[in-house]
Structure formats: C-alpha cells, structure tokens
C-alpha cells in the first residue's frame, strides 16, 4: 500500500505560488520535498488545496481557539487551516508538519482527540516559542502534547539539543536533519559578470541587515543589494546611496540576483534555529564566496570551515563582518577557492536528494 502523506504548510503567498507552479520549476523547492516523495510512491495531499482562505466556520473556530490558548498562557497558530483539513489529514498515514505555525495547532488538536493521524513535526525556532509559554502548567501541557508526536525534526543540531532537553526522558526521537539544496537548479554561472559587490537575502526576522547597512555607509566604493520581504524592508529605514533594496522576489529571481553578486553576506542575530541556512546552501551551491554569522544553528552539522569553504564571523560583530567582506572582495584568488570548496561541500553532503531521502525514511518508518 502506498504511503498516504498529508503536508501541513503555513498559508503564505510564497507557498501558494509554489504550489501553483508546474513540476520542475524552482519555486517547487519551497514545498519540502512534496514532488520527490510523490515520485517515491506516496499519495500526497496538503492543507492548501482550497484556492482561498479556510471556510468561515474554521476561521471563527480558529480565532476562538487562539484566544483561549493565549488567555491561558499558551502559544497558538493557524488553527483554521488545520480544522478545515481534519477529514483529509485524518485519512492519511502520517502528517508532516512543515512549520511551527501549523505544527503547534496540530499537536494541541491531537492531544484533544481531533487529530488521530501520527505527526512528524519539523521545528523551525520552536525553543524561542516555548520560552513564551506562561506558567508551569502550560509548560506541562505542551510537553505532553509534543511527546505524542512520532518524531521531531530540526534543521539545527543546537535546536534539536534544546528540544530534547526540554522534553526530557521518554520523548519521541528528536532528529537533526540538515537541510539540502537542489545542486542542479542552483549551480555556478561562471560567465556571469558581477552586477553588485555584496548581496544579502532573507525574510527571517533574525537577519541583521543593520550591520550590512553600517558597512555600506563606510564603503561608498562598493555596491550592496538587499533582497527581503516587504515586512522586513519596512523595518530598514533609510539606506545609503550605494545600497539597493528589492522585495518579495520569486525564487528564480533570487537565484538570478545571487548569480550577479561577487560576495554573499548573511549577517544573522544569534539564535538556535536560523543561520540563513537556505540561502547559505543555495549560495554555496552556486560557488559563491559566503560570509555568514556563526550562529548556533550552523556552528555544527553543516561542515562549515572558516577560510576553507566560507567565512564565519561572530553574530552582531560589525567590524568582523566588514573585515571578512572586504577581504573576500579584495582577494580574488581566495574568493574563487572559497566558492569552489563551497560547491564541493554541498554536492558531497547537502543535496536535495539526500534531504528528501531522509524525509522518506523517517515517514516510511512511521507507517511501518
């Protein structure tokens, strides 16, 4: 019998845009291996099959549940899309929760008996959410709910360690599964002439674009470009004249912008889950020299070596970031070497095939 798999996605414009694209298009990369697992024989469905928002009853019930959760000291999420999909997800063999926004409602509804299907939970910043729980009673409730998952996956070894510690003995497996990159879709473009010296890409609230803005102000001879979400762009304020800003680009456009940059700079505030991991791996696959903050999220498990396949700098250290960026730009030979070894690293250890194979093995084990 084929594995019946239900994907729970965050209801976001970029996710719906990816689902609307034909198979093989770059945007499908945002779907956490849906196509690849279908090719392995899984019957896949998801919570965004409706063309618009969840049904009115689900939105009303979801708002009421969120209000009750928050009043009690808990942390909620998108109850509406989970409630609207209960029939479909309860007909599956396993639910793959791709983000905490839907994952937290899923585990709470499973504890309440509304969700009967086993859940494999992908954590993306879960420890930072758990610290917002108010009171020991709420901590116990969430701990019991998370212990009813089949497995919890994290893209950061540090995040996996924190979750294990919080859950304590008797918890389900908490697995570090490094993210991956499609090394065919993201590949070097050797003939492309640089259009900008430094690019930084990201929508994550942990991105520290202020550091890059400060460096741009110090180096009028260099050109800088930021690609961010509209929300993050509004927080940036006035930019120096040698820094441009683009918002809400498609993944194909992001790939094009990375290809046209000499250096990729990814400053990130310290945290357990975000090291600009997706853009980092994409840029490395394109053989770009990358300067990235050494957050807990990428300090271990991603085979990063300062001066070998990237440049690692302390989070929040504007001077260290500036030195590394300038060193890479002014040392053409070293930059080429960093990019070449970066590409070798992702080809060897962080391909999209390796990532989707890991997902398949974990999800298949749940059915067995």
In a domain, 59, yes or no: yes
Residue 110 to residue 107: CA distance in whole angstroms:
5
Does 250 lie in the same domain as 339? yes
Does 85 lie in the same domain as 145? yes
Does 244 lie in the same domain as 129? no
Q: Which residues pair with 119 in a beta bridge?
A: 95
In a domain, 126, yes or no: yes
In a domain, 109, yes or no: yes
In a domain, 13, yes or no: yes
In the prediction, which pLDDT does 320 show?
96
For 95, what's the count of Cα atoms within 13 Å in the CB-facing half-sphere? Answer: 30
Does 276 lie in the same domain as 356? no
In the prediction, which pLDDT does 189 show?
86
In the prediction, which pLDDT does 173 show?
96
In a domain, 187, yes or no: no
Does 79 lie in the same domain as 63? yes
In the prediction, which pLDDT does 332 show?
65
Helix 277-285 to helix 332-349 angle (10° resolution) is 110
Does 244 lie in the same domain as 142? no
In a domain, 32, yes or no: yes
In a domain, 185, yes or no: no
Which DSSP category does 181 fall into?
A: B
Q: What are phi and psi of 4, to 5 degrees?
A: -95, 110
Q: What are phi and psi of 226, to 5 degrees?
A: -115, 130
Best CA proximity match to 284, nearest among 159, 175, 178: 178
In a domain, 227, yes or no: yes
Joined tokens for residue 201: 């890409």
Best CA proximity match to 159, nearest among 132, 128, 133, 204: 128
In the prediction, which pLDDT does 118 show?
96
Residue 162 to residue 224: CA distance in whole angstroms:
36
Does 341 lie in the same domain as 209? yes
Does 226 lie in the same domain as 122? no
Does 363 lie in the same domain as 326? no
In the prediction, which pLDDT does 237 show?
83
Strand pairing category for 119-123 and 224-228: unpaired
The CATH number of the domain where 331 resides is what? 3.40.50.2000
Does 105 lie in the same domain as 36? yes
Does 217 lie in the same domain as 173? no
Q: What is the pTM of this model?
A: 0.92
In the prediction, which pLDDT does 231 show?
83
Instruction: Spell out the per-residue pLDDT of the chain, length 368, in tens.
Output: 789 999 999 998 889 999 999 998 888 989 999 999 999 999 999 999 987 666 788 899 999 999 999 999 999 999 999 999 999 999 999 999 999 999 999 999 999 999 999 999 999 999 999 999 999 999 999 999 999 999 999 999 999 999 999 999 889 999 999 999 999 999 998 778 889 999 999 988 889 999 999 999 999 999 999 999 888 888 888 899 999 999 989 899 999 999 999 999 999 998 888 779 999 999 999 999 999 999 999 999 999 999 999 999 999 999 999 999 999 999 866 777 999 999 999 999 999 999 999 999 999 998 65
Does 206 lie in the same domain as 78? no
How many domains is the chain built from?
2
Task: Show the domain range for 308.
Answer: 196-349
């Amino acid at each position: 019998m084929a594995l019946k798999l239900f994907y729970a996605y965050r209801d976001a414009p970029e996710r719906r845009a990816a689902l609307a694209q034909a198979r093989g298009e770059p945007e499908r990369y945002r779907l956490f291996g849906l196509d690849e697992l279908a090719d392995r024989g899984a019957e896949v469905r998801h919570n965004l099959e409706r063309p618009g928002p969840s049904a009115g009853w689900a939105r009303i019930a979801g708002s009421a549940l969120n209000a009750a959760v928050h009043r009690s000291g808990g942390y909620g999420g998108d109850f509406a899309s989970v409630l609207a999909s209960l029939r479909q997800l309860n007909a599956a063999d396993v639910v793959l929760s791709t983000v905490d926004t839907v994952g937290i409602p899923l585990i709470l509804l499973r504890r309440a008996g509304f969700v009967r299907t086993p859940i494999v939970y992908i954590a993306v910043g879960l420890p930072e959410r758990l610290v917002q729980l108010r009171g020991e009673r709420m901590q116990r409730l969430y701990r019991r709910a998370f212990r009813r998952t089949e497995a919890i996956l994290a893209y950061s070894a540090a995040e996996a360690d924190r979750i294990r510690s919080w859950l304590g003995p008797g918890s389900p497996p908490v697995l570090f599964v490094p993210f991956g990159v499609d090394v065919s879709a993201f590949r070097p473009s050797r003939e492309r002439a640089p259009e900008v010296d430094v690019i930084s890409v990201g929508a994550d609230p942990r991105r520290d674009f202020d550091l890059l803005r400060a460096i741009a102000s110090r180096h009028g001879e260099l050109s800088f470009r930021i690609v961010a979400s509209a929300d993050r762009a509004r927080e940036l304020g006035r930019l120096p004249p040698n820094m441009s800003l683009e918002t809400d680009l498609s993944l194909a456009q992001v790939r094009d912008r990375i290809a046209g940059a000499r250096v990729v700079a990814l400053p990130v505030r310290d945290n357990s889950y975000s090291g600009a991991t997706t853009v980092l791996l994409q840029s490395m696959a394109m053989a770009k020299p990358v300067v990235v903050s050494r957050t807990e999220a990428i300090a271990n498990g991603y085979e990063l070596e300062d001066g070998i396949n990237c440049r690692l700098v302390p989070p929040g250290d504007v001077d260290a970031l500036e030195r590394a960026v300038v060193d890479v730009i002014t040392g053409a030979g070293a930059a080429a070497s960093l990019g070449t070894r970066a590409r070798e690293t992702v080809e060897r250890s962080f391909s999209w095939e390796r990532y989707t194979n890991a997902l398949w093995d974990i999800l298949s084990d749940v059915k067995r």
